[in-house]
Each structure stands twice: as C-alpha cells, then as structure tokens.
Chains A and B, each alone.
Chain A
C-alpha cells in the first residue's frame, strides 16, 4: 500500500510539473514588455 501511494504521489507530482512546464512555455512566449495601445 505504501509503495502504491509512493508511486501515485510521484506520478501525480510529475504530471503537475509537466503541466507547469507547458504553462512556463506559454509564459515565456509572451512579450516581456506589455503592448500598450496608446490611442485609448
């Protein structure tokens, strides 16, 4: 049981990290400086 929990926890932590890496890719693809449209 303890071994199963460990596997599940490891897998889940990995999934979360995978999602986070995907999100980080999205964030780094955004321009560093915000685009400010001056007219309005």
Chain B
C-alpha cells in the first residue's frame, strides 16, 4: 500500500536531504549568536530547564558582544556566581561591569549546579587566542573544586568542546576527563552516554539547531522550571523571564529557621570534613592533616584549571553564611574552616591562580547558606573589580595597545 503511495527512491532521497539540511543548519546557527540581550544562563536556558547550551554558543555570545580591544572577563563557577538570589537588574556581574568600565566586557556564564570552575573555563580557554587580554573568574568555597567530567549536569560540555574541537585539550585535561569515580558503574555509563551523544552532535549539530529553535520559536521539552511557574513548555525560551525575588532579611531568617535541620546537616557535615583535613603544628601554623585529600585537591587544580589560564584566573572565596557557622559549628571547627581556606588558597596560589576573599561578609549579605542577595553581590563585585584591575596591571593588559576595533 505504502509502496504504491510513495516512491521509495525519492522518499529516501528526501530523508537524506531533510537530515542533511538540519545538520547544515545546526552548523550554521552554531556559528552565530542567537541569544538576545543575554544576561546569564537563567534556569530557562540551563539544565534546570532541560535546555543544554554548548561551548560554541558561549563563544558566539562573546564574539558578538566583545570588541577585540576590550579586556574580556569570563565568569564561571556555580549558582553563587550565577547570581541565584539576585534579580537581573541587581546582578553582581552587572555591578562588576559598571565598576570596571568600558575597557572591560564581563560575561556571566556561571551555571547553577556546576561546581567551580565550571564549563565556561573551556569557553575561556578557546578564546585566549582571539582575546589575549582575558581574565577568568570563579567562586570557591573551601577546597571545593571539580573536574568537569565529574559534574553530572554539565559534563557533556567537556565532550562537546572536545569532539567539536572548540578547545585544543591538553593531555592532562584529557587525563582529568577520564577520571571516573572508581567502580561507579552508573557514572561510567553516564560518561559514555555523554561522549556518544557529543560525538554524534559534532557530526550533526542537533543540539545547536534545536536549542536555537527552542530559544527563538518553539521549545519542546517538558521541564520543571516552566511547570512550577505555570509557563507553557512550548513557549520560546527567549520569552521566558526568570526573576529572583529579593526577600527581606526577616523573611530570609524565617526561611533559614524553617530549613534548620537541612542547614545543620550541611554545615556540620562540612565542619566534620574540615576538622578531619587540617590541623596545627606545635608553632600554631596550619598543616594539611589528611595528605590524600590535599594531594587529590592539588591534582584537581592541575586538571580543572588549564595551565594557560592559571595566571589569568581569579578565584573569589565566598565563605559559608556566618549565621550558619556561628549556629552550628564549634569554635574549634570555625577555626578549622579558616585553616582549610588558608591552605586551599596556598595551593591555588602555588599553581599560579590569584585568590581573593572578603572578611566582612555578614549574614545580611546571604540568601541562604552560600548564595548572595544583591547587597552581598555588591561586595563581591567590589572585591573582584579591585583584583581584576590589579591583575590587569600585573599582566600588562593596561599598557597594551588595542589590537583592533572589531
């Protein structure tokens, strides 16, 4: 019946043409910035909203919006630097841009749920040749740092960059990517799946094409972010606005108290870990107590932050909300926390990175355990701007003549 209706030769020719057309279109859209008024990868356009951007998309945002003679600043990190808890109008990176002025261009590519440095470090790495004057900045909390391949939500971005050759991976980076969690079968399978899908995507560019269509015209994947807000799953992502509402300090305190058990577990868990890994020598100096942990941490720095970016990398230490540490940690553990921060900073600095921290963060600056409200974001912006200017001077960015005006 079908055979009499359709001519098989033409039908299969059509299949080939349709598929090839999509692959070519995917490749074409991946070479253009299709985001309008990009501020950050808000939950409608990140993994929370079942939307999976690519490294090339990050690159294209930069290429479209950052003239080559500016100092490029790429912000990586997790939800803290993403600005969860800060509306777009009061986002800390907006303030950072204002403080740094027109000579710099700041891009917030931090992704919630992606431990530092996050996938945007790959975008930064791939742009070093185009933007020799570049800084990368991400947040850290204690010794929290992860190799991208161990990040369940965004590990695909490592393989996306690898298979599309967006980034020339160094052997240590590849070795780092191949680190899996021992005999964890589920993780190994997830990594293999990510690799397979990214390999196919490097041939057929389906992610870029359907991201583009989902962003501009019609989104087709059910997602919890839209569902919670009563927004149709089909609405183009460019028309979906995600706003964080800023609560009053009293409302926030009420929230923290209502989640006391959760925060208590979180803070005490962190505290027990800190107590385990640091100690003091007889002269009262901090020492690395659990050598395995610290050596693994040292290796993670080498694998997670590419060598060519280390001297351009600013790591901003965001302490845990002091309300929590005061409430749930003993005086000794609070001290251990400082010890971890100090020793982690030493390791980071020994690798060539710059570490910055503010000692005057107050509970009013926080949304929850680590996320910041606009007031806290403002403090971080001030700190980051100071250090970025210092780094720019040190790296000779301020003396260099503009390369071109493109």
Contacts and interface: CB of A to CB of B under 8 A. Distances in A.
Contact of A11 (B13, B19, B22, B26): B13
B79 A39 contact: yes
Contacts of B113: 35, 37
Closest 4 CB pairs of A and B: A14-B14, A18-B18, A15-B18, A29-B197
B201 interface: yes
Contact of A6 (B6, B204, B223): B6
B169 interface: no
Interface string B3-34: 00111101111111111111100100000000
Given A6-B5, A39-B84, A18 B206 contact: no
12 contacts: A7-B10, A9-B5, A10-B7, A14-B11, A14-B15, A15-B15, A17-B15, A18-B15, A26-B206, A26-B207, A29-B156, A39-B371
Interface stretch (B44-52, B98-106, B267-275): B44-52
Interface of A: 6-7, 9-19, 21-23, 25-31, 34-37, 39-40
Interface residues of B, number: 47
B14 A17 contact: yes
A37 B79 contact: yes
Given A35-B153, A37-B113, A29 B201 contact: yes
B200 interface: yes
Q: What's the dominant secondary structure at chain B's contact region?
A: helix
Contacts of B143: none
A8 to B, nearest CB: 8
B18 A30 contact: no
Interface of B: 5-8, 10-23, 26, 43, 47-48, 50, 52, 79, 84, 112-113, 152-153, 156, 197-198, 200-201, 204, 206-207, 209-210, 220-221, 223-224, 244, 368, 371
B349 to A, nearest CB: 29
Contacts of B11: 10-11, 13-14, 17
Contact of B47 (A25, A35, A40): A35
A14 B18 contact: yes
A14 B197 contact: no
Contact of A19 (B5, B12, B22): B22
B227 to A, nearest CB: 10
B262 to A, nearest CB: 10
Contacts of B19: 18-19, 21-22
Contact of B48 (A12, A17, A36): A36
